[in-house]
Amino acid sequence: MATKQLSPTEGTAAGAAPVTKTKKTVMYIPRKDADVETLATDAAKQWKTLPQLTLLWTTQPAFDTLAKSFSATLSAR
């Protein structure tokens, strides 16, 4: 019967504890209203400069109006 010889893992020395790597998660969807407002206004500005972008459920002028309305409502709160 053959035995498998194991070697130490990377970053460990004899008698030392193994190095643990932490995974950082990135949130792509904003959680705060202010972040949603920033995202919406930035997207509306970019959409004006790139008219070839299209969405099925809204137009650029309608989205711009919604973004401005959301910004005004958020400012009023």
Question: What's the pTM?
Answer: 0.60
pLDDT for residue 22: 82
Mean pLDDT by 10 residues, the chain (77 residues): 64 64 80 90 93 89 94 90
DSSP characters over 5-50: PP-PPTT--TTPPPPPPPPPP---S--SHHHHHHHHHHHHHHHHH-
pLDDT for residue 43: 92
User: Would the CA dihedral through 22, 35, 58, 44 be positive or negative?
Assistant: negative
pLDDT for residue 9: 60
CA distance to 7, 41, 45, 52, per residue, from 68 (Å): 61, 7, 11, 21
